[in-house]
Each structure stands twice: as C-alpha cells, then as structure tokens.
C-alpha cells in the first residue's frame, strides 16, 4: 500500500451510525433467544433482555433524536445522518426486531416450553376449574384495585404512566347516570404481577401460567356492569425518560433530581405498543392522544411488555432448563491468608468476575470497618443498591467512628432513586456523602483505605472496571485490582480530593483520568504503535470495551492501520468504526462476544516494541467517557497479572468461535462458527479454568 495515499478520515462513509449499531447489538442478543445451544429458560431470558434493551433505547436514544427534530437541530454525527434520517431507519430496524421478538415467542419458545410442561394458558383454553379459579382470583385480587375511567367531558383522557399496562375498552349502552361512554381506559396498577402461576390444584401441573392481561380480558364485562363490551385492547406507552438537570443553574443536585424523577413517568411519548387486533380507529385515537407518528406505532402479537416474562424462570424449578450453577473461585492467596491487608501487602491481587468471587471486595470493606488500625475509607458508588453488603459495610464503618467518605453518583441512569436512598442511609450513619462533580458523572470505580501500621500510614486501594454491585458481579465480566502500591495510592487520593474539594487537577504518576489525561494518552499510545510500524517493526493493538464511538480515537486507529499496525478490537455493543475498508482499515478486525455473561471489561493492550503495556479502565472509548465523566484507567505492572489478562481476557476471546460475531464493513455482523475447528466458548473456558 502506498503510504502517501491521501484519505479523508472525515468522510461520512467511514463511520457507522451509533443508533443503528445499538440496534444491531440488540439483534445479536435476540439471536441468543433463538440459539438452541442455550438452555430453554435462558433463551426466554434473552428474549426479555432484548425487549428491555429496546425499551431503554426508545426512552433515551429515540427521545433524544425527537428533541433534536422538535428544536430543529440539524447537527449530524460523524456518519452524516440527520436526526430525521436516523429516526426513519431506526423505525424500520426496530419494527423488524419487534416482529421477530414475537415470532420467537409464539413460534419457537412457547411450543418448546409446552413440551416441557410449562404452559402460558390463553383464556380460551381454560377448563372449568381454571375458569372458576380465575373468576375468584379476579374478584379477590384485581377488581378491588382497578380504576376504570370512561372518556367523556367530565373524564378527560387519564395520564398514562411510562411503560404501564393499560386497556382501551370500547362500549355500547348507557350507564346508571344515562351516560353514553363509548370508550374507557383501564389501568393495571404496577403492584399487580403481570404473570400469575395457576395453583397446581386447579391445573394439570406446577408450571401453568396466565397473564394479567388475560384475566382482565376475560372479566372486562364485570368492570362495566350493564354495558356491552365490544372490544378490549392492551397497550403501553414508552416515554422520554432522560433526566434533565441544568448544570449551570442547579444549586442542589439532590433536590433537582428528586423533582425530575417524578416527571420521568410522564415525559413525552416516543412509542405506542398495542394489541395487533386493535381496530384502526382505536389506534388513531391513541395516536392522536399521544401525538405520535405512524412510525412510532408497534403492533404486538402477545403481551405488550415481553420483559415481564423474566419472572418465569425464577418460578420454574427446572435446573435442566437453565445454565449450570457455578461457584466463583477465590484466589489461592486469599484462601491461605484471610486477612485482606496481609494478603495485599504480599503483592497485587487481580479478580476476574464472575468467574472469581466478588466476596473479597466485600470482605475488604468489612475488615476495614472493624480493623482498629483503619482511619479512613473512601469509595465511589455508581450502582450498588441501598441494601447491599457494600453499603452495609460502609455504614458499619461510619458508625464505628471511621472517617468514611462516599461519592454517590446520583445521575446513574435508572438507578437514581436507589442512589438517593443509599445517600440518605449513609448520611444517617455519619458518613460524608458527596454527589460528584456537576456536569461530570463520577463513573470511576475506586476504594481507598488508609491504615495505620506502626509509625506509618499505608494506603490500600481497589480499582475496577465494573460497579460495586454484588448481583451484577455474577452477571457481568469485570476486573478488579487490589494493591498497596504507593504511587497508585497517592493518585487515588488525589482523585478523591479533586471530586470532593475545589482545586486544580494534580499530576498523577500512574493513573490516567478523564476528563484530563485519558483521551490524549490513548491517542498517543495508538500513534506510538503507528510510528513503530512505520519504522518496520512489529506493532499490535488489542482493545476490549463495551462501545467505540469517539471520532479522534477511531481516526488514530485508521491511521495506525494504514501504517501497518495489526489491530484486533473486541467491542460488545456500539461500534462506529468500519473495519476492512481498503487503504483505511484493512488491518482492523472487530468482533462482539454475546454469551451467558454481559461482557463489561475494558482492556487496552499495546505491543510497544515488545514491551507490552496493558491497561484496565472504567471507561469505554466514547465521547462521554473521555470528556463528560470522571473515569480511571490504570496500568497493570506485574508481569504475571499482565500475561494472565492477555491470555484470558484478550486472546481467549479472539479465538472464540461459538459466541463471537464479526463486524463487516457495511455495519452488519456475521456469527462465527467452529467449522472443522474445535469449538471454543471463551466464557465457558474461563468458568472451567477459574471457578470452583
């Protein structure tokens, strides 16, 4: 290749639209529901995850594009697509996804579940005993809490909560007051379960279920006595759920968010899901009420909220239809040396979740809370939950007289209310609680413990790629590092000071930090590999992350590819880079791993002329992570740990031929297959190697 060939790296054709890339990821998740190598109830879970992902996509991404259209923002991304163009293509792709979701449920999963004696009973299938039970259940549990509303001059259209289950009912006749209400709305309270297990005494087995919607449909006449019900159609509205806090005007972030959380339930409508048998005139009524275009209407051949089926696997005791249970392992040193401080002083400890246990992180906090030598505990919390063992350990530490400072990120999307509750509990216990930096979400994962040991104070730290959440630590792949390295400790302390107190950013020795040094350093490291390649020496980059969208980094990768650097990217979700373009990205491959666990590790490996450097980070290569968040990225210095990360966290995934999807230059993905090679499932291999 002629190195002097000029290429315009701002050309729109070199970038994939981020919204369409996100829908492609959801397509890969849905494929897991179709994959018969997954246990049947796990396939049902994947279907629910795909549905839930699509909900959030509409609540945040589509809502944001709608705002741009309303306010006539013509700002295009690197792909050059206008907001209107994006919405048009999103509608086409999303309608295809929704149609396929219901096909998978109705034609694939439901018949297979029935063969395993797991049944979703339609109301037309109920026998006499089941009908009798349903009638009693409706009268006892549902009728007292339902509030039907007829639409007439004194009863305007009710406010519909975001993603709530509702029924549009058509009626004939006059009521007791002589009113002739042709239309009524029935709202199902959120406290009611959306799927109910029929008692075994009334069914043909322990795993027969009815939907709440079926119970309401079957007894809708009882809700409107004396009237003739001519139709009943379930529907659900998805609303704009992004919280807006004016960073320049806000004086009290907590109070501002509390106000916004209430409004989230009634944001602008962005999508209407409705039963596919609903008459056109009824759909038009709702469409007009919610001010939606035709593209925002989605007809559903089943429950309007598939995510509610996530409750079913927990209600079915069939281990043979689920992933095998595993026990996360503990590093041998922690087994031999239960005292966390003694173990960390002997050398850095790397944890790879969920294959290795998250319990050492909790034990670290518990021991710090009870150790008389510990003076200070500082921690960042993005998602953890107010009742988690992490929160309890911090509360115990504060109550025992430790100096506890917790940075609670209130603007952790969809966890805001839980984080507000957590902050209140910590403050009641005596902990110092701060809410990060206005305008910059605190997304870094850090714990700092200062301990008096004889005549000196020693800092012990934990740095991670994932949240301090015990539940997600069993579902997400993440790394965590324990160390008492002096330079690391000093850097972490400086970052905490930056977050909690005014002052200029101090220079860090080993950690990279957003929004200050991380972006520039990543670009510099990519450019260093390019310079090595131009000098005729081997150059290689392997990077694993959740999303890759930041233009300057992508351009640096393109330039490195043009220089001859071999680049392997493992990007789970969004990827705006197009691989395999002649004279631009011929040396770049991009793969996505979608399996049992959500891939969440961020690993950046640079060959560096044979002196390999490996970094772990809380940040993806996205604009928001580089410029609008407080993030950390740390080099792994011990060779044994560095080699382990390269082997298990990178090379292992590059050879996966069971759960890997290869990105093509047109933005679509093709699933890899073993062919004549030995099947390799990266996550399964790590389970076998690392878990007990």
Active site residues: 443
**CB 19, CB 77: distance < 8 Å:** no
Q: What is the DSSP string of 251-294?
A: S-HHHHHHHHHHHHTT--EEEEEEETT--HHHHHHHHHHHT--G
State the Cα–Cα distance between residues 51 and 238, nearest whole angstrom: 12
* Residue 437, token pair as written in the block: 């930096």
Nearest Cα to 62, choosing from 38, 89, 25, 35? 89
Neighbour-count burial of 534, counting CB atoms closer than 10 A to its CB (0-12 exposed, 13-18 middle, 19+ buried): middle
Q: Show the tokens assigned to 181.
A: 């209400």
669 closest CA partner among 28, 13, 79: 28
- Residue 50: in which H helix or E strand, if any? helix 40-56
* Cα distance between residue 321 and residue 370, in whole Å: 43
Return all residues near 368 (Cβ < 8 A) that are at least 6 apart: 340, 374, 377, 393, 397, 402, 449, 451, 460
Rg (CA), the chain: 27
Q: In terms of Cα–Cα distance, which of 601, 244, 623, 240 is closest to 411?
A: 244
CA–CA separation, 610 and 254 (whole Å):
49
Residue 83 near residue 280 (C-beta atoms within 8 A): no
């Amino acid at each position: 290749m002629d190195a002097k060939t000029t290429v315009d790296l701002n050309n729109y054709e070199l970038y994939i639209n981020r919204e369409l890339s996100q829908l492609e990821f959801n397509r890969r998740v849905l494929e897991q529901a179709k994959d018969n190598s997954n246990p049947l109830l796990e396939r049902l879970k994947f279907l629910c995850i795909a549905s839930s992902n699509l909900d959030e996509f509409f609540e945040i991404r589509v809502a944001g594009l709608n705002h741009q259209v309303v306010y006539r923002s013509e700002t295009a991304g690197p792909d050059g697509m206008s907001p209107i163009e994006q919405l048009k293509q999103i509608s086409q792709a999303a309608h295809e996804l929704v149609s396929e979701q219901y096909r998978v449920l109705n034609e694939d999963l439901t018949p297979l579940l029935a063969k395993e004696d797991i049944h979703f009973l339609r109301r037309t299938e109920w026998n006499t005993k089941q009908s009798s039970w349903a009638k009693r259940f409706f009268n006892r549990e549902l009728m007292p809490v339902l509030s039907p509303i007829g639409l007439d001059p004194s009863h305007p259209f009710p406010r519909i909560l975001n993603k709530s289950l509702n029924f549009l009912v058509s009626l004939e006749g006059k009521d007791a007051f002589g009113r002739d209400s042709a239309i009524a709305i029935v709202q199902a309270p959120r406290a009611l379960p959306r799927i109910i297990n029929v008692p075994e005494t009334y069914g043909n087995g322990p795993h027969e279920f009815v939907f709440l919607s079926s119970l309401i449909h079957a007894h809708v006449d009882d809700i409107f006595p004396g009237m003739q019900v001519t139709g009943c159609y379930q529907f659900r509205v998805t609303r704009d759920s992004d919280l807006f806090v004016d960073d320049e005007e806000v004086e009290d972030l907590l109070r501002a968010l509390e106000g916004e959380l209430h409004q989230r339930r009634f944001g602008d409508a962005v999508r209407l899901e409705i039963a596919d048998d609903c008459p056109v005139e009824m759909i038009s009524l709702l469409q007009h009420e919610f001010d939606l275009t035709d593209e925002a209407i989605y007809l559903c051949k089943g429950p309007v909220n598939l995510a509610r089926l996530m409750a079913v696997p927990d209600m079915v005791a069939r281990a043979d239809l689920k992933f095998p249970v595993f026990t996360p392992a503990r590093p041998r040193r922690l087994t031999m040396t239960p005292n966390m401080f003694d173990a960390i002083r002997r050398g850095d400890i790397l944890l790879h979740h969920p294959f290795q246990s998250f319990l050492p992180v909790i034990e670290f906090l518990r021991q710090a809370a009870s150790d008389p030598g510990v003076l200070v505990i500082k921690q960042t919390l993005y998602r953890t939950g107010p009742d988690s063992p992490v929160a309890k350990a911090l509360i115990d530490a504060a109550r025992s007289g430790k100096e506890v400072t917790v940075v609670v990120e209130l603007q952790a999307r969809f966890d805001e209310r839980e984080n507000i509750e957590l902050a209140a509990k910590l403050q009641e216990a005596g902990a110092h609680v701060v809410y990060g930096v206005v305008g910059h979400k605190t997304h870094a994962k850090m714990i700092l413990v200062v301990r008096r040991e004889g005549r000196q104070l020693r800092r012990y730290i934990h740095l991670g790629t994932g949240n301090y959440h015990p539940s997600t630590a069993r579902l997400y792949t993440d790394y965590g590092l324990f160390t008492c390295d002096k330079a690391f400790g000093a850097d972490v302390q400086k970052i905490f000071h930056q977050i909690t107190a005014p002052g200029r950013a101090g220079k860090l020795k080993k950690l990279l930090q957003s929004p200050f040094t991380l972006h520039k350093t990543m670009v510099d490291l990519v450019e260093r590999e390019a310079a090595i390649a131009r000098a005729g020496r081997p150059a290689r980059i392997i990077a694993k992350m959740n999303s890759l969208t930041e233009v300057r980094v992508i351009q640096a990768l393109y330039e490195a590819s043009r220089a001859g650097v071999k680049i392997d990217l493992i990007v789970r979700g969004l990827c705006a880079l197009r691989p395999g373009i002649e004279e631009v990205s011929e040396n770049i491959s991009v793969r996505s791993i979608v399996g049992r666990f959500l891939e969440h590790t961020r690993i950046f490996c640079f060959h560096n002329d044979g002196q390999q450097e490996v970094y772990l980070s809380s940040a993806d290569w996205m604009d928001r992570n580089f410029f609008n968040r407080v993030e950390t990225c740390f080099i792994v210095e011990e060779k044994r740990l560095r080699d382990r990360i390269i082997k298990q966290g990178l090379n292992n995934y590059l050879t996966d031929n069971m759960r890997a999807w290869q990105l093509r230059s047109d933005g679509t993905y093709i699933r890899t297959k073993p062919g004549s090679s030995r099947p390799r499932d990266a996550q399964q291999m790590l389970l076998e190697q690392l878990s007990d």
